Chain A
Amino acid sequence: MSGGVPFLPESASTIAGEFNILFAGLLAITGAVLGLVFLLLFRFCAHYRRGNDAADRGHWGRKSWRWEVGWTTASFVVFLGLYAWGADLYLREHRWPSNATDIYVVGKQWMWKVEHPDGQREINALHVALNRPVRLVMTSQDVIHSFFVPAFRLKQDVVPGRYVSLWFDPTRIGDYHLYCAQFCGTDHAAMGGMVSVLSDADYQKWLAANATGGTLAAQGGVLYRKLGCAGCHETGATVHAPKLAGLYGSAVTLRNGSTALADEGFIRSAILQPAQNVPTGYAPIMPSFVGQLNEEQVMSLVAYIKSLGAKPAAGSPSR
């Protein structure tokens, strides 16, 4: 977008389309209210200015309660409408379609590291295909960051110690700004890049050109064996540990009686804080891997465990 003074941001996702309608509505309603306030203010100031003897100043309104009830209810009703409209879209922003591709993102001072399911990695850039919904599974290695793409009208804070997700369905080919919106230290303003929406063919080309040794899950599998997870979790192990195939998306009953949905966040904390996620029927003997793995490695393990068979948790927010 070079040249000219920009007034409106670009729109490049399904959400952006709906958002623009919401914005137009909000603008119209608040604009009308603002207009009313300005109009009354200027009208009264002009008409009832001191010295204007033409104005009728008798019979002050004293029975005020009708007016009070009137404008209070009117404001309240308008507010309810705005609330419902915004909430509805917000809910849809958090319900991703089941065919969304999971892409993993780790934020750290001051860069975005992206890992595609097929192993492609990029930094401060994200390549996606037109009209193919994507869900980002994100975490931070250090402080809070925020993944922000104005053209998609989406933003999500990326918090260390937990997984958050953000989904979108790109609708226009092009390059769009990616920012870090949460202040994260010295180079906060430099922590960004471009999101490129490519046509299907270009996307395939991009994937092929950036192919690495193996998929993310395969990398996780290597780690899985190297760290000795397999020694406990594979059939034939002497330790009594749960089998992980089919774990993702299932409901796990924990020792303390509660049930947890085995989403990415659950698997992450099962690896890093096993003592907190002990399923019923097992002794709390799994060692914690906290401090031994960086967030990218944990993500590959998560991808691996997901690849062992999954009941996709479509539409269920992971937080």
Chain B
Amino acid sequence: MTVTTIGELPRQGEGDSYLTDGTTLGSWLLTHDHKRIAILYCLSITVFFFIGGAGAALIRLNLMTPQGTLFDAETYNRLFTLHGVVMVWLFLVPSIPTTFGNFLIPLMLGAKDLAFPRLNLLSWYLFATSGLIVLGGLIGGSVDTGWTFYEPLSSGYASGALVVVLFGIFVNGFSSILTGLNFVVSIHRLRAPGLTWYRLPIFCWSTYATSVILMLATPVLAVTLLLVIAEHLWGVGVFDPTHGGDPVLFQHMFWFYSHPAVYIMILPGMGVISEIIPAFARKTIFGYHFIAWSSIAIAVVGFFVWGHHMFVAGESIYSALVFSFLSFIVAVPSAIKVFNWLATLHKGSISFEAPMLYALGFILLFTIGGLTGLLLATLAFDVDVHDTYFVIAHFHYIMVGGMVSAYFAALHFWWPKVTGRLYPESWARFAAILIFFGFNLTFFPQFILGYLGMPRRYHAYPPEFQVWNVLSSAGASILAAAYLLPLFYLTWSLLRGERAPGNPWGATGLEWQTASPPPTDNFARTPVITRPPYDYPEPAA
């Protein structure tokens, strides 16, 4: 086998990439190429994002007035159920892993594909099918349980369409599990010669941590949903209090998945940020080992904090004390990351293209979301603000301000690599800044609302809360417009954008050492890695 070191790879000519390797529909729908599968995912989750976003837009419209005149209670309840379910399972959980994970992991490993390409395609089919099933149930039926499906509301009191939705999420779970499995095995087995664990980019570490959670938490959700489905069909089950069952057991099982799942929804974003900050600060990442291992720590400890969603649900005081404590412990690795990112900026040579703007926005918004997470983990504080808009604001700061920003950061950062085109920089900067402001205007008032005591999942509310709600809705309309912008200028770039060179950012990652867009087999020759990642030259003093 011939090998070369990175940097010496031959360029291939235009029209010789994975994008041009087959142009029929079948060549896309039956592809085993991880890069094409990534594109399939990207298209599907974009659709789901806008469906979930439309739900959010209608929610915010309704909340403009205290009486919630736009919709009746049931319709409103269906809307936030749709919004939550679609955003979590059809958009945010798959977001970065299935698109950029799929596209980049083999490139970053110096491999020709993932370990199980057919399984990868199967995952996409499972995902797409699950999306259709879930949406069918949500839109066709009357499902109004919220994304948490608490028992006994979700069995004895819910419509039959819920079974369809739950089944869809069940199928979705298999897609998650298989995707996670594929990444874990690939990272273990497919690293190029010389690519030791500590030479892996941080994105691989965080995808690895995410994948472990996908593999070990998702099955518990699957079986929990299965029990609810069975309970629906038989009219009796383990969660049924009239039969001596325990509805709180459902919450334990649900959060045993869903808390780790929130880390599924942030770790990949943290990985992206750890790639972008060094690239735009022209500096080696600070504390590589700490950032790498903190992802693993989050994944592991994250399995033991689920009870912090149940401080007032009737779990014992003793468990509340333990879960609160562990929630603080799990925040430590996140703190480590934030401080290391800041230290990476120190003495950097920083430029502010759109990916960097999103990344900086991520740090600010994630920190706000994370710190309010700490407040929620503080027992007595949570007793007051649990199930209020404070919680809504907390998680939107992390999931929208953090993870969606990271997704957009990734989209812009790797856009030239994926499409072979450059995007229009000033439009992108403008959109990034607009998103940042729209976002804060939407969700900061919700902290105040929550602290004032406005409960969540309310389709109408006392009039004194109106001012903050109107502000929030105003922010949401800015946000909606800002999210639509990339749709336009990126489509434009796809058709008219300037051709991108292999490494437009001058970044060090292995994925930048091949052509843009890469050839089907990724590298002309298997690269041999001889250097640590983020190997930017240090300027003389």
Contact = CB atoms under 8 A, between A and B. Distances in A.
Interface of A: 1-2, 5-9, 18-19, 22-23, 26, 30, 33-34, 37-38, 40-41, 44-45, 48-50, 55-61, 64, 67-68, 71-72, 75-76, 79-80, 82-83, 85-91, 93-94, 109, 142-144, 146, 148, 150-151, 153-157, 159-162, 164, 177, 179-190, 273, 290, 317, 319
Nearest to A86: B378
Nearest to B329: A79
Interface stretch (B16-24, B214-222, B404-412, B456-464): B456-464
Contacts of B448: 7
B426 interface: no
A160 B152 contact: yes
A189 to B, nearest CB: 4
Interface string B343-374: 10111111110000000100110011001101
A86 B324 contact: yes
Contact of B378 (A55, A83, A181, A182): A83
Interface string B137-181: 000000011101011110011000000000000000000000000
A93 B363 CA distance: 35
A88 B378 CA distance: 10
B453 to A, nearest CB: 3
B247 A48 contact: no
Interface stretch (B33-41, B96-104, B313-321, B511-519): B313-321
Contact of B342 (A40, A155, A181, A183): A40
Interface string B112-128: 00000000000000000
B153 A159 contact: no
Given A48-B281, A61-B346, A143-B153, A71 B380 contact: no
Given A64-B290, A161-B242, A181-B387, A57 B347 contact: yes
A162 B314 CA distance: 9
Contacts of B156: 142-143
Contacts, number: 268
Given A41-B364, A154-B383, 18 more contacts: A7-B452, A58-B541, A59-B541, A72-B335, A83-B324, A86-B380, A87-B325, A89-B379, A143-B150, A146-B387, A159-B247, A160-B247, A181-B455, A182-B387, A183-B387, A188-B73, A189-B73, A190-B460
Nearest to A150: B453
Contacts of B132: none
When A and B form their complex, which 7 residue pairs have the shortest distance between CB atoms, in order from nearest? A58-B541, A150-B453, A161-B241, A86-B378, A90-B379, A89-B380, A79-B328
A5 B466 CA distance: 9
B335 A61 contact: no
B312 interface: yes
B371 A48 contact: no
Given A41-B364, A45-B345, A68-B290, A188 B458 contact: yes
B464 A159 contact: no
A319 B343 CA distance: 47
A319 B364 contact: no
B467 A37 contact: no
B435 to A, nearest CB: 18
Interface in B208-253: 241-242, 244-248
Given A181-B386, A181-B387, A48 B345 contact: yes
B20 to A, nearest CB: 35
A2 B347 contact: no
Contacts of B451: 8-9, 23
Given A33-B371, A157-B312, A180 B455 contact: yes
Given A182-B387, A187-B73, A317-B317, A6 B464 contact: yes
A319 B346 contact: no
A183 B459 contact: no
A144 B371 contact: no
B507 interface: no
Contact of A67 (B144, B343, B363, B378): B343
Contacts of B434: none
A155 B81 CA distance: 23
B378 A144 contact: no
Contacts of A37: 338, 342, 363-364, 367
A58 B283 CA distance: 11
Interface in B437-486: 448, 451-453, 455-462, 464-465, 467-468
A38 B364 contact: yes
Contacts of B386: 155, 181
B457 A183 contact: yes
Contacts of A142: 152, 156-157
